[in-house]
Amino acid sequence: MGLHLFNTLTRRIERFEPMAPESRKVGMYCCGPTVHDYAHIGNFRTFVLSDVVRRYLSFRGYEPHHVMNITDVEDKIIARVGETGSTLSAYTRQYEEAFLNDLKELGCLMPHDMPRATEHMEAIIALIQQLVDRKLAYAAADGSVYFSIARYQEAGCCYGQLQKLDFDQMRPGQRVQSDEYAKDAIADFALWKARTPADGEVFWSSPWGEGRPGWHVECSAMSMQYLGSSFDLHLGGEDLKFPHHEDEIAQSEGAGVQEPGKRFVRHWIHGAHLQVEGKKMSKSLGNYYTLRDLLDQGFDGRCVRFVLLSAHYRESFNFTIDGLKGARTALGRIDECVSRLAKLAANAEASDLENQSELTKGFTSAMDDDLNVSAAWAAVFDWVRETNRQIDQASLTAQQAATEHQAWLAVDQVLGLGAGKDSEEEDIPQAIQTMAQQRQEARNNRDWAEADRLRDALKEQGWRIEDTPDGPRPRRIQDI
């Protein structure tokens, strides 16, 4: 059937066709983090989605080129730089590093390019200049430059492609300069923001004076620099549809750099939000968890990844700690089955029939259908049940086991769970190791009450202590 994806631009599920089918190359851009603070796991739902899209494209024989920008200059960042007395780069690099560590912990592949906005000023200014030259942008008296929606529409272009817009109701987006009086029309958005005293030392020179770019134009300039003026896939969370992505289209297509008949982006993918008790997880509501919050509670990155991948990307769902515990149990089942399979396969060679495995077939047809992960998980867990049954009945030969194991490894190239590692090699989170050590110390001190308390606390987190020849060792409880 081939890969089918919902396209926000057409509001339809479409067969995915890359622009250059003969080379199988696919350009994909995902709006990256604004590095003003630690990202929360809601943000990571969107980044894990991008990772799975990229991995699934590879699984289907494409060659994705994955670009994710780093927004390292923006209003909140500038405010924090001012408050902390830090420099822009010192301030943003710490959060960029934390973000990339979290991305790794969540089993995401590093994007092929991660351009920082501050290092692409030339391309950004050049794009603004093109828009000014084409009379789609104008400089205000203070040296800010705005994109004119009215002139864009007069040129025959459509503003409001990703989402139907009510122009009467339109209020300026959050990330535009608060000084609205400089603009011709309320809907116009800033491409360049003139320097103000509050910006401190954060500014660049431009033909319009000192200042800094607007957020939207950064993404247009960087995506086109790395992927060309027309590319295949653009991703982000659903909150970015408007104004951010709409403005990216207006700027990129307004610059008139595409070949005739070609769009800026062929296919737009938007991920639904991760919620907490029915509300979007967000910094402003304070209802968020960072990855480190969850690691400190003894969970690991793969549990969080599993949860983030548990629902269809176009459906929002509630994050709960119980959901994480459920993920741990589910992963334990997969791990156990895959390591049984690996032992049985021993050194047997897989046949080249792995594509015939029920796992591969079920997984591929589910994911081809607009990345239907619920059906994909059903295929995985049916396979786990059936494989365990066959192993119990000794009805699987070593070669069949090797083939099924191979099929799992291929599917896991997409899921990115690294499941099936021998539990001996399992990474034990630092918090769990510390608790296990404290329990041992309590036992050495004959403080049985404290030792029991720590044992129960470990159990609560899904771990038990097993005596091994090398001393006590935490082991994951497979079925809680």
**What is the contact surface with ligand AMP in residues (CB under 6 A)?**
31, 33-34, 42-43, 45-46, 236-237, 239-240, 271, 273-274, 280-282
Residue type at 132 in one-letter notation? V
| Residue number with CB closer to ligand AMP (52 or 194) | 52
C-alpha 289: how far from chain center: 15
Query: Within its chain, how far is the Cα of 25 from the centroid?
Result: 21
Cα gap 240→248, rounded to integer Å? 10
Rounded to the nearest whole angstrom, what is the least distance from the CB of residue 36 to ligand AMP in the complex? Answer: 8
Return the one option of ligand AMP, Zn ion, none that residue 33 interacts with (CB less than 5 to 8 A, by type).
ligand AMP
Least distance CB 282 / ligand AMP (angstroms): 6
User: What is the C-alpha to C-alpha distance for residues 32 and 215, in angstroms, rounded to an integer?
Assistant: 11
Which residues bind to Zn ion, rule: CB under 5 A? 31, 219
| Number of other residues whose CB lies within 10 A of the CB of residue 111 | 25
Comparison of 111 and 236: residue with beta carbon closer to ligand AMP: 236
Residue nearest to ligand AMP (CB): 237
From the list 421, 415, 427, the residue with the least C-alpha distance to 341 is: 421
Task: Give me the least distance between CB of 35 and ligand AMP, in Å please.
Answer: 8
Nearer to Zn ion, 251 or 364 (CB): 251
Pick from Zn ion, ligand AMP, none: which does 239 bind, CB < 5 to 8 A by kind? ligand AMP
Q: Choose from Zn ion, ligand AMP, none: what does 416 bind? Cβ within 5-8 Å by kind.
A: none
CB of 328 vs Zn ion, minimal distance in Å:
34
Question: From Zn ion, ligand AMP, none, which one binds at residue 407 (CB under 5 to 8 Å depending on kind)?
Answer: none
- Can you state the percent helix, strand and coil of the chain, rounding each to 5? 45, 15, 35
The neighbouring-strand residues paired with 318 are 275
Distance (Å, rounded) from C-alpha 218 to C-alpha 413? Answer: 32
**Euclidean distance between CA atoms 206 and 299, whole angstroms:** 48
In 140-230 the beta strands, taken as DSSP E runs, fall at 145-147, 189-194, 211-213
When CB distances are held under 5 to 8 angstroms depending on the partner's kind, the choice from Zn ion, ligand AMP, none that residue 447 binds is none
Q: Which of these, 465, 460, 456, 469, lies nearest to 433 by C-alpha position?
A: 465
Query: CB of residue 66 vs ligand AMP: minimum separation in angstroms?
Result: 14
> CB 172 → ligand AMP: shortest distance, Å?
18
Residue 219 interacts with which of ligand AMP, Zn ion, none, CB < 5 to 8 Å by class: Zn ion
Q: Which does 332 bind (CB under 5 to 8 A by kind): ligand AMP, Zn ion, none?
A: none
334 binds, among Zn ion, ligand AMP, none (CB under 5 to 8 A by kind): none
| Strand 4-7 with 12-15, pairing | antiparallel
Could you tell me the two tokens for 276? 């907490």
Min separation Cβ 216 and ligand AMP, Å? 12
State which residue, 43 or 387, has the beta carbon closest to ligand AMP. 43
Task: Decide whether 69 or 406 has the Cβ nearer to Zn ion.
Answer: 69
Nearest CB to ligand AMP, comparing residues 241 and 464: 241
**What's the closest the beta carbon of residue 24 comes to ligand AMP, in angstroms?**
27
Closer to Zn ion by CB, 219 or 442: give it.
219
Nearest distance from C-beta of residue 318 to ligand AMP, angstroms: 11
Measured from the CB atom, the residue of 64 and 271 that comes closer to ligand AMP is 271
Nearest to 99 by CA among 52, 31, 39: 39
- Tokens standing for residue 213: 């770019």
210 versus 239: smaller Cβ distance to ligand AMP: 239
Q: Please give the backbone phi and psi of residue 235, each rounded to the nearest 5 degrees, phi first.
A: -125, 160
Which does residue 282 touch among ligand AMP, Zn ion, none (CB within 5 to 8 A, set by kind)? ligand AMP
Answer whether the bond into residue 474 is a cis peptide, omega within 30°.
no
Structure tokens at 89: 């780069």
Distance CA(117)–CA(462), nearest Å, equals: 42
